[in-house]
Chain A
Amino acid sequence: MTVADPTTPAPVLVHLHLNGEPTSVAVPPHWTLLELLRYGLNLTGTKQGCDKGDCGTCTVRIDGEPQLACLTLAVEVRDRHVETVEGLGVGGEPHPLQEAFARVGAAQCGFCTPGMLMSASAYLDDLSLQDAPVVRREDIAAALGGNLCRCTGYTKILQAIEEVAQSVLARQQDLATSDAEEP
């Protein structure tokens, strides 16, 4: 007979979609999503910074929205879609944001980078859903309002995201033009 230890509640089985893969995992109710990712699933791309909602380096996307893994109870994400920085690139290729961050020099120590990338990817998705999208630095800065960087001064980060956003818009316009030219 096993006696339940009252100080460590029994793990709860949670089903979620993690980077597109259906995942089932048992996790104690007082574990955060961040702890589940890093210590339960060995996905250490999501960083543990302040651990209380100030710094944004643990940002993941839940059902597409940037949210903080450090303040999310793991068992509360049942049936939801969680995307981490590990899921950003496709087929082993880096995401255009990751390429731009490397090219421009948007990472120095790199600790804030995964969170920055997740907030930036949500900004790009929102931008491409707009009717008349325009890339503005202040909109990018607002989208990164919950991500702290202590090295770069943000300039290179904003530049990297702006370059990718401009290229996304240019590609959308090319597609729209070629559609219009169809007989």
Chain B
Amino acid sequence: MLRLPPFTLHQPTTLAEAVALLAQYAPDVRVISGGTDLVPNLKLAQTKVGHLVSAKFLEKLHGITRTDTHLRIGAATGLHALAQDGDVQDVLPALAYAASRIASPQIRNMGTLGGNISLDTRCRYINQSELWREALGGCLKSHGTECHVVPGGQGCVAALSADTVPSLIAYGAIAEMVSDQGVRRAPVAELFQQDGTWHVRIAREEILVAVEIPIPSPQTRVAYRKWAVRQSIDFPLVSVAVRLDVDGAVLAGGSIVVGALGPRPRVLTLERLAGRPLDEALAQALGQMAWDRARPLPNIPYDAEYRRERMVIEIRRAVRVLVGLPEKPLVTKT
């Protein structure tokens, strides 16, 4: 049985009230929305905090609105609602798919987009009971001084495990934060830093309010691929979004965004491949590019070398689907 440690819960009904509370109690405060990441982390004493500010009753954080140019998704929009939304499925299918692959039906009913973006990093040495962690002498993220993933490492390399982040970056999403100092906007791509103990650059005084995503042109195609052991519940072991901007029958640009490496997603731009035809060779080239420049670490389950190969496979499959080839090449009988 896991009990929550005592804390003070605030349930503001206006954004002004919420940011005043955050300013008053920072840094000993967190925003709680669905609670599906924060509550277990509090129970396991991975996170320790005196005050929680609930986003549940903040109307401005809920709902999806579509303009001619953008989709605006409130940070407290549920993951199931996001995956099922007609506008999101219509213009941001990779994001709808990514949301549909998170955890389980129950967790998608509770969890929110803002919570997924803010999802704490994961590592086989941190997602354990406090007793287990202490027995190992702790680690950089858990009252210790040693990293068990990278011997001698000085920075925590726990893995960003948010399924929505790679496709949000591929779509060019902008995050909007509010504090008592006003509104701040930043591309989701610039929201993460190489520090697994605190990888999301959202200050304790700030609350993530919404994400704005430009509606892609018909020349832009995005796919998200997740590999995990089971069809549900699991966090991604390989997490990739591929964006291809096409011009007729050739590539004009795009990006590969890889999650589930270290604390920060890896973004590879494809401009130097402009002019390449949309074929199997392109799928192979993008896979090789990721193999060269994105390296999974032994921080989450499954062998890192295997996940590196698997990442290449998922990228090839994403490219094939986006250019209209069969996802898995036919095996010919000899």
Contacts and interface: CB of A to CB of B under 8 A. Distances in A.
Interface in B1-40: 1-9, 11, 32, 34-36, 39-40
Nearest to B39: A71
Q: Report, as a range, how many residues of chain A touch the other chain.
A: 35 or more
Given A72-B110, A75-B9, A146 B4 contact: no
Majority secondary structure of chain B interface residues (helix, strand, loop or mixed): loop
Contacts of A62: 109
Given A53-B40, A145-B232, A67 B2 contact: no
Given A9-B7, A52-B2, A145 B39 contact: no
B217 interface: no
Contact of A52 (B5, B11, B44, B109): B44
B56 A119 contact: no
B103 interface: yes
Interface string A19-62: 00000000011111001000000000000100111101001001
Interface in A85-127: 119, 122
Interface of A: 7-9, 12, 28-32, 35, 48, 51-54, 56, 59, 62, 65-68, 70-73, 75-76, 119, 122, 142-143, 145-147
Contact of A54 (B4, B11, B233): B233
B148 interface: no
Contact of A28 (B2, B6, B110): B6
Interface of B: 1-9, 11, 32, 34-36, 39-40, 43-44, 54, 56, 80, 103-107, 109-110, 231-233
Contacts, number: 96
Contacts of A142: 105, 231-232
A12 B39 CA distance: 19
Contacts of A35: 3
Given A48-B1, A146-B107, A146-B233, A9 B44 contact: no
Contact of B110 (A67, A122, A147): A67
